[in-house]
Amino acid sequence: MEPKRFTFRIRRFNPSDALDSYDEDFTLEVAEGVTVLEALLRIQAEQDGSLSFRYACRGAVCGSCAMVVNGAVALACRTQVHAAGSDTITIGPLPNLNVVKDLVVDMDFFLRKLTPVRPWLDPAGPDPERERLVDPDEWKEPEPYTNCILCASCHGVCPVTERDPRYLGPAALAKHYRFLADPRDGADDARLGFVDGDHGVWGCDTVWSCVKVCPKRVPPTKGILATRARIRPIEDKNGA
């Protein structure tokens, strides 16, 4: 297929301007197979060196390039321009996070949500002489949650995150379940306590938006529901 001319309508914001955010159009001839990230790099190199966006791996591994492309949250490095189904590609920053400049958002708010779920292994009993082995069958439950690249796409589409800044959010709750489900971890009761509240697993609307958008097939809602199911028996046992 011949290269085709596209208009890239990019949301711009510069904190040193007095202006509110605004859309700016750039046109570019783009060959088939070119990604939105590659198009942004060309616009930056050929038309406006001040255009700001974040990326690192270019291969859907680092989680840096999540943004809104034609109304949907996506990784720019694995979204092809020709597949967008339109001659105009609208591009904006990830929602539910403060914009630093253009398409760069402040990830601190998102990353700070990980701290309360203590995202590290907390095994019970004495240390083994060698590594802690896991039965492959027992690893099937936590394994999908280990694929998270912290891209914050789920955070960007979560309706609870949008209305409740204190909600831990899908990524932190998925990370929480990754360790709760890990057969080597020995801190289940404490872990359940971290998330047993309206800003934890009970806050989720279970609309599955996070699962649909996740580029790595992590299922946060599934983990949230599995965590709720573990909390209920404890409440029943205590007469709650």
**Rg over CA atoms, the chain:** 21
Order the strands of the 72-75 sheet from edge to edge.
22-30, 4-12, 88-92, 66-69, 72-75
Q: Among 155, 138, 127, which Cα is nearest to 213's?
A: 155
28-31: long-range contacts, CB 8 A cutoff, minimum separation 24: 29/3, 29/4, 29/5, 30/3, 30/4, 30/5, 30/6, 30/81, 30/82, 31/1, 31/3
Find the binder of ligand SF4 among 34, 117, 174, 224 (CB under 6 A): 174
Q: Which does 216 bind (CB under 5 to 8 A by kind): ligand SF4, ligand FES, none?
A: ligand SF4
Q: Which does 58 bind (CB under 5 to 8 A by kind): ligand FES, ligand SF4, none?
A: ligand FES
Find the binder of ligand SF4 among 107, 214, 221, 223 (CB under 6 A): 214
Find the binder of ligand SF4 among 65, 148, 168, 224 (CB under 6 A): 148
Phi/psi at 22 (5° precision): -150, 165
Q: How far is the CB of 24 from ligand SF4 (least distance, A)?
A: 28
Residue 19 to residue 30: CA distance in whole angstroms: 30
Contact 104, 65 (CB under 8 A): no
Find the binder of ligand FES among 11, 58, 199, 228 (CB under 6 A): 58
Find the part of the chain contacting ligand SF4 (CB under 6 A) among 7-15, 84-92, 152-160, 228-236. Answer: 152-160
Contact 8, 27 (CB under 8 A): yes
- Binding status of residue 168 toward ligand SF4 by CB under 6 A: no
In the region spanning residues 56 to 115, those forming contacts with ligand SF4, defined by CB under 6 A, are: 63
Q: Among 192, 195, 201, which Cα is nearest to 234's?
A: 192
Find the part of the chain contacting ligand FES (CB under 6 A) among 10-18, 59-67, 136-144, 219-227. Answer: 59-67
Residue 50 to residue 36: CA distance in whole angstroms: 17
Find the binder of ligand SF4 among 151, 168, 173, 224 (CB under 6 A): 151
* Lookup: tokens for 196: 């047993």
Find the part of the chain contacting ligand FES (CB under 6 A) among 55-63, 86-94, 121-129, 177-185. Answer: 55-63
Q: Which does 75 bind (CB under 5 to 8 A by kind): ligand SF4, ligand FES, none?
A: ligand FES
Nearer to ligand FES by C-beta: 106 or 138?
106
In the region spanning residues 74 to 93, those forming contacts with ligand FES, defined by CB under 6 A, are: 75, 77
Find the part of the chain contacting ligand SF4 (CB under 6 A) among 37-45, 118-126, 183-191, 211-219. Answer: 211-219
Which residues on neighbouring strands pair with residue 12, listed in sequence order? Answer: 22
Residue 157 to residue 19: CA distance in whole angstroms: 26
Q: Which residues bind ligand FES (CB under 6 A)?
A: 55-58, 60-65, 75, 77
